[in-house]
Amino acid sequence: MPSQGDNQPAEKKIEQMEEEKMNMRLGMDVQKLETEKLRKEKHKAEEDLDSLKTDFKKLRLSVRTAGLEKTLEQWYQEIQEENIKAGRWEKKFQEAQMQNKSIEKSLSENQNKMDELKARVAELEKTIHQYQNRNSVVELKASLGRIEQMKRTVEELERVLQNCEAKIEYLKVNEYHQNE
């Protein structure tokens, strides 16, 4: 019959695993919040883009109706300039759409990884319960290996998240430059 002193290393490992499980849950909560923030920022960027398009159309209409005294040649030149501007705006819009698609893909990948992480946490909870009932050193070592794998997964998710944040910052800078 094992003494209580023999169970202390196993109990410490269980406590460590419980703490890591809690940290992983907190990480998942942070991931969810950041994912929602990205979605809101994407929606805001799309609204701003639509507003810019509307303002641009109104401005073009005002320019057309206000300058009736221009010569035909001046009108052609102004139309060419406006077409060039419109082409730039269209290019910026397409770039923004491509960035949005990239962000959506990253969000989807992050969501998939989060789902995998949830499944792993559930598996870890089940394993912890088994370890608490059995106090088996061999099982604890195997669980520690899975926890290490999960840590690596969390680190990978953090890198992906940092990538997404950098892309969002890039979009914000582009939006700011577009607003200028």
Phi, psi of 68 (to 5 degrees): -70, -20
- Phi, psi of 175, rounded to the nearest 5 degrees: -65, -40
pLDDT band at 80 (very low <50, low <70, confident <90, very high): very high
Confidence of residue 58 (pLDDT cuts 50, 70, 90): confident
- What's the pTM value of the predicted model, to 2 decimals? 0.30
Does the pLDDT value for residue 68 go beyond 60? no
- The neighbour count for residue 110, using CB atoms within 10 Å, is 21
pLDDT of residue 5: 58
pLDDT at residue 169 tops 60: yes
- Whether 107 has a pLDDT exceeding 70, the answer reads yes
At a CB cut-off of 8 Å and minimum separation 6, what does 18 contact?
128
The Cα–Cα gap between 106 and 100 comes to 10
**Residue ranges per structural domain of the chain:** 25-179
